[in-house]
Amino acid sequence: MSWVLKNLEFERGIMLLRIARTVCATSLRYLALVVTVAAVLTATPPAGAQPISVSPEDIPPVASGPRPPIVPGCPPNAVPVTLTPSVLSSHSRHYIDRPKITWGQISVSRAGWYDIYDESPSDSGFLQRNEQSLLYVTNRVNPEGKPATANCGEYWAIPDMDNVRPATDFVYAGTFWLEAGSNDIAMAPLCAVVRAGFCTGLENIEDPLSHCATVSTTDNSWQNSAHLHHSTICLVPNGSARPPRRPAGFRSPASFSQSFTGMSDGDILPGWASTVGLDTFPRSAAARFRVRDDNGNMVFGTANSGTAPIATFDLAGDRVWEAPFWRNYEFSGRMKFTDSGGAAGVTFLSSLPDSSFYYGLKTDSSERAFHFWAQGTSISGGRISTGVRPAPNTWYHFKIQAIDEGPRTQLRARVWREGSSEPNGWQAEAFDDTLSRVRTGSFGVWGGVNAPGEKLYDDLQVSPLP
Protein fold of 256-464: Jelly Rolls (2.60.120)
List the beta strands (DSSP E) in 283-323: 283-284, 290-294, 297-302, 309-313
Q: Is 333 left (phi over 0), alpha (psi -120 to 50) or beta?
A: left
The residue among 390 and 195 whose pLDDT is bigger is 390
Find the range with the poorest average confidence among 76-90, 169-183, 285-299, 330-344: 76-90
Residue 391 backbone dihedrals phi, psi, to 5 degrees: -105, 150
What local confidence, expressed as pLDDT, does residue 358 receive? Answer: 92
Positive or negative torsion for Cα 438, 442, 445, 450: negative
What local confidence, expressed as pLDDT, does residue 307 receive? Answer: 72
What local confidence, expressed as pLDDT, does residue 236 receive? Answer: 87
> What is the chain's mean pLDDT, rounded?
74
The residue among 140 and 56 whose pLDDT is bigger is 140
The residue among 435 and 23 whose pLDDT is bigger is 435
Residue range 293-305: average pLDDT?
91
What count of residues does the chain have?
466
Residue range 9-18: average pLDDT?
38
What local confidence, expressed as pLDDT, does residue 308 receive? Answer: 74
What local confidence, expressed as pLDDT, does residue 198 receive? Answer: 81
Give how far Cα 10 sits from Cα of 4, 20, 299, Å: 10, 15, 67
382, 442 contact by CB (below 8 A): no
Instruction: Spell out the domain ranges in the chain.
Output: 12-45+65-237, 256-464
What local confidence, expressed as pLDDT, does residue 97 receive? Answer: 33
**pLDDT over 90 (residue 334):** yes
418, 410 contact by CB (below 8 A): no
The residue among 96 and 154 whose pLDDT is bigger is 154
Q: How far is CA 349 from the centre of its chain?
A: 11
What local confidence, expressed as pLDDT, does residue 124 receive? Answer: 58
Q: How far apart are CA 462 and CA 440, in angstroms?
A: 13
Counting DSSP H helices and E strands in the chain, the numbers are: 2, 27
Residue range 278-294: average pLDDT?
66
What local confidence, expressed as pLDDT, does residue 72 receive? Answer: 79
For residue 364, the surrounding DSSP H or E stretch is strand 358-364
Q: Please tell me whether residue 163 adopts helix, strand or coil conformation.
A: helix
What local confidence, expressed as pLDDT, does residue 66 receive? Answer: 62
Residue range 57-61: average pLDDT?
40
**pLDDT over 70 (residue 61):** no
Residue range 432-447: average pLDDT?
88
**pLDDT over 80 (residue 429):** yes
Q: Is 396 exposed, middle or buried (0-12, 13-18, 19+ CB in 10 A)?
A: buried
Residue type, 395: W
What local confidence, expressed as pLDDT, does residue 430 receive? Answer: 98
The residue among 169 and 414 whose pLDDT is bigger is 414
Q: How far apart are CA 450 and CA 307, in angstroms?
A: 6
What local confidence, expressed as pLDDT, does residue 130 receive? Answer: 67
Q: How far apart are CA 72 and CA 69, in angstroms?
A: 10
Q: How many CB atoms lie within 10 A of CB 280?
A: 16
- DSSP symbols for 406-459: SSSEEEEEEEEETTSPPPSS-SEEEEE-STT-----EEEEE--BS--S-EEEEE
Find the range with the poorest average confidence among 22-26, 92-96, 304-308, 398-402: 92-96
With pLDDT > 70 as the criterion, what percentage of the chain qualifies?
A: 66
**pLDDT over 70 (residue 122):** no
Residue range 408-416: average pLDDT?
96
Cα angle 70-73-77, degrees, rounded to a multiple of 5: 100
**pLDDT over 60 (residue 65):** no
Task: Report pLDDT digits (tens) over 160-169.
Answer: 766 555 556 7
- DSSP symbols for 225-263: -EEEETTT-EEEE-S--PPPPPPTT------EEE--TT-
Find the range with the poorest average confidence among 49-58, 146-155, 236-245, 391-400: 49-58
| 196 secondary structure, DSSP code | T
Radius of gyration from C-alpha coordinates of the chain: 25
In our burial notation (b when 16+ CB lie closer than 10 A, e otherwise), range 427-440 reads bbbbbbeeebbbbb
